[in-house]
Amino acid sequence: MTTPLAAPVFDDARLLPVLEKVRRQERLSLDDGVLLYRSHDLLAIGYMANLVRERMHGNVTFFNVNRHINPTDVCVASCKLCAFGKKARDPNAYTMSLEDVWARAAQGAAEGITELHIVGGLHPELTLDWYCEMLRGLKQRFPQIHLKAFTMVEVAYLARRFRIPLEEVLRRLREAGLDSMPGGGAEIFSERVRRIICDHKIDGNEWLEVARLAHRMGIQSNCTMLYGHIETEEDRVDHLLRLRALQDETGGFVTYIPLAFHPDNTPLEHLPKTTGFADLKNIAVARLLLDNIPHIKAYWIMMTPKMAQIAQRFGADDIDGTVVEERIYHDAGATTTQGMRRAELLHLIRMAGREPVERDTQYRRVERSETTFAILV
Ligand code: V47
């Protein structure tokens, strides 16, 4: 672990006042955030983020054994950032039956998953009752599995489409078995950018409003930011500070996940892919600005396992999980595998000099016998 008072060599001396604040555990400002994003001194930024990360989590890196299910890719929105959503008339579009969803979950249960991550397109015909039946069926069959399901965008769509108050949508989902919500769909809150990349989605204030309501009802969630398209450094800092302000109010965010834009097969295909430098910087700046969000996740599907491993020394304390069947990033050109075995995650984390801790969705330790588990996944 880093010695807290070691004197680091900073190439970019403008960062020294930020280091002072980090050492005094003072909150960073909008200007600090923009300075961090504009600086090329990645090692200095990573050093500071690592100080904070080790102060919060010591040497531990968290992971979980989970599975993604995307029940449908039919989506009424046509977001330029997305390669996943399809129109109902598209011959390649799919919608799973409830039996399909439950069968995938059964496969996961047999592999010892503790969490299902369920998100999909904005399907014009699937009703709130259908989603509730899906959740109820999952809870009945697999009561031990945490159901982390539906983005703020999907919940807002159900409310609007079927003219049901937001609060009632959330209440009915929770009664049916919803345990918490993932962080997707936040994209970037800047109105200017949102109009271009995801015009058909709820705006940033609405995303935050659904999160506020969910948190007030005791439903925790994650949060994300999509970077590496047409946003500016100021847009990114603004997004992070709006998440931080809501967290001050509700305390309901558990984990923040920066999401690198993957342009393949999207209308924004002409944009360059993000670089390793940008991916690490987004992890580190988030750890420094989001002083009130407990965890920063380096999502290996999005960053590649190798970069997600390095990120464990640049501010991240989580690497996500086994995932098993990822579609959203793979439709947009991700070249990683769609899932990873538990043993591989352990290896990556250990080779970064961190202590792997399997967690459940609420970051409680999961104890398993390594030998029994090796047979399963
Ligand atoms: O909501 C869509 C984004 C999200 C693209 O909460 C794209 O634990 C990049 O939210 N390139 C899905 N990104 C992923 C997500 C997530 C992942 C892992 C863990 C958690 C969690 C949440 O990915 C979408 C959208 O924001 N996205 N298309 C694309 N072409």
What domains sit in the chain, N to C, each tagged with a CATH number?
46-361 (3.20.20.70)
Residue 67 Cα to ligand 1 midpoint, Å, equals: 15
Asked whether the beta carbons of 333 and 264 are under 8 A apart, the reply is yes
**pTM for this prediction:** 0.95
> For residues 306, 291, 225 and 324, what is the CA-based torsion angle, rounded to 10 degrees?
40
Residue nearest to atom 23 of ligand 1 (CA): 184
Residue 328 Cα to ligand 1 midpoint, Å, equals: 7
332 lines ligand 1 (CB under 6 A): yes
Residue nearest to atom 8 of ligand 1 (CA): 182
Asked whether the beta carbons of 85 and 75 are under 8 A apart, the reply is yes
| Cα distance between residue 112 and residue 169, in whole Å | 30
Q: Which atom of ligand 1 is nearest to the CA of 81?
A: 30
Ligand 1 pocket check: which of 259, 271, 273, 363 to mutate, most ligand atoms within 8 Å of Cβ?
Answer: 259
Query: Which residues, given as ranges, of the chain have pLDDT below 70?
Result: 1-7, 370-377
Q: Which atom of ligand 1 is nearest to the CA of 333?
A: 30
Residue 8 Cα to ligand 1 midpoint, Å, equals: 35
Whole-angstrom CA distances from 215 to 125, 152, 212, 218 are: 28, 11, 5, 5
Could you tell me which of 286, 147, 308 has the C-alpha nearest to residue 224? 286
226 lines ligand 1 (CB under 6 A): yes
What residues does 227 pair with on adjacent strands?
260
**Count of all residues that appear for the chain in the document:** 377
Whole-angstrom CA distances from 232 to 10, 228, 318 are: 25, 9, 26
Residue 302 Cα to ligand 1 midpoint, Å, equals: 8
Q: Which atom of ligand 1 is nearest to the CA of 153?
A: 1
What residues does 181 pair with on adjacent strands?
221
83 lines ligand 1 (CB under 6 A): yes
Q: H helices of the chain, where?
A: 16-24, 30-38, 42-57, 98-110, 128-141, 152-161, 166-176, 191-197, 204-216, 233-250, 276-289, 300-303, 305-311, 328-331, 342-351, 370-376
Amino acid 371: pLDDT: 54
Residue 209 Cα to ligand 1 midpoint, Å, equals: 19
